[in-house]
């Protein structure tokens, strides 16, 4: 597939397909599939259209689309994805700035989305946006723009850095250390590596009220 790498993670009968980097912002999208049931969920809808639609077609059975948050780079292929799949689009219950006519449902913290016989657990992880969500599927965790390999997601207002760090430390780091962290941009990491990164950051944290880009080793 031109324009995007394809990486596959297998966990029992569940396959997670990472498509990316794609588009001008190097986004990743994910197809989560129960292989036996032939049912799948797509997470995020970034550019580029061609490799994303090819991946959807190759896996087949996309019954639901989940957007991790509202930022436009995660919605660039909304029309093409809806046309190709007819699948409902779900977002976090607290998310903002999405026209209601573009979504079909909202996901509360702790909700579960069925993928055949498997379940995707919804974790509310605000900070990057008010309604950002992370999604747990067995030994994998799709984090959107909340947690990256090397730092937290970018923040845009006073208080947001404290919020996103609380989301990471209280909601994500308690997961098993071998959990794969599959971010909305960049490379895959683990909860173990993220714990080490957060510990390094906490030795030299940003001042209260700081926002913007942060790397663990700053």
Q: What is the pLDDT of residues 158-213, one digit of tens each?
A: 999 999 999 999 999 999 999 999 999 999 999 999 999 999 999 999 999 999 99
Nearest to 49 by CA among 80, 16, 91: 80
| Residue 1 counted as domain residue | no
Q: pLDDT at residue 2 above 80? A: no
CB 45 within 8 A of CB 81: yes
Report cis status (omega within 30 of 0) of the bond before 21: yes
Domain count along the chain: 1
Terminal CA-to-CA distance of the chain, rounded, Å?
36
Whether the full predicted model's pTM is greater than 0.95, yes or no, is yes
| Residue 211 counted as domain residue | no
Q: How confident is the model at residue 1 (pLDDT cuts 50, 70, 90)?
A: very low
Over residues 87-133, the pLDDT tens digits come to 999 999 999 999 999 999 999 999 999 999 999 999 999 999 999 99
| Residue 217 counted as domain residue | no
Q: pLDDT at residue 218 above 90? A: no
Nearest to 45 by CA among 68, 63, 14, 15: 68
- Check which CATH number belongs to the domain holding 190 and give it: 3.60.15.10
Domain residues for the domain of 90 are 6-203
Taking the C-alpha atoms of residue 185 and residue 26, their distance in angstroms, rounded to an integer, is 6
| Residue 113 counted as domain residue | yes
CA atoms within 13 A on the CB side of 170: 10
| Residue 10 counted as domain residue | yes
Over residues 134-163, the pLDDT tens digits come to 999 999 999 999 999 999 999 999 999 999
């Amino acid at each position: 597939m031109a324009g995007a790498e394809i990486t596959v993670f297998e966990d029992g009968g569940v396959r997670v397909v990472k498509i990316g980097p794609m588009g001008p912002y190097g986004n990743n999208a994910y197809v989560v599939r129960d292989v036996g049931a032939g049912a799948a969920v797509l997470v995020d809808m970034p550019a580029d259209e061609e490799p994303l639609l090819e991946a959807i077609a190759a896996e087949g059975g996309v019954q639901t689309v989940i957007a991790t948050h509202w930022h436009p780079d995660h919605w660039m292929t909304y029309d093409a994805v809806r046309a190709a799949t007819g699948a409902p689009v779900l977002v976090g219950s607290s998310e903002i700035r999405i026209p209601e006519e573009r979504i079909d449902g909202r996901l509360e913290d702790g909700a579960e989305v069925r993928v055949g016989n498997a379940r995707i657990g919804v974790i509310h992880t605000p900070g990057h946006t008010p309604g950002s969500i992370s999604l747990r599927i067995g030994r994998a965790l799709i984090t959107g723009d909340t947690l990256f390999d090397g730092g937290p997601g970018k923040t845009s207002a006073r208080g947001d850095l404290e919020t996103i760090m609380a989301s990471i430390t209280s909601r994500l780091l308690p997961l098993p250390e071998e959990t794969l962290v599959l971010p909305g941009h960049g490379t895959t990491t683990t909860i173990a590596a993220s714990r080490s990164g957060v510990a390094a950051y906490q030795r030299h944290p940003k001042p209260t009220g700081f926002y913007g880009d942060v790397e663990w080793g700053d």
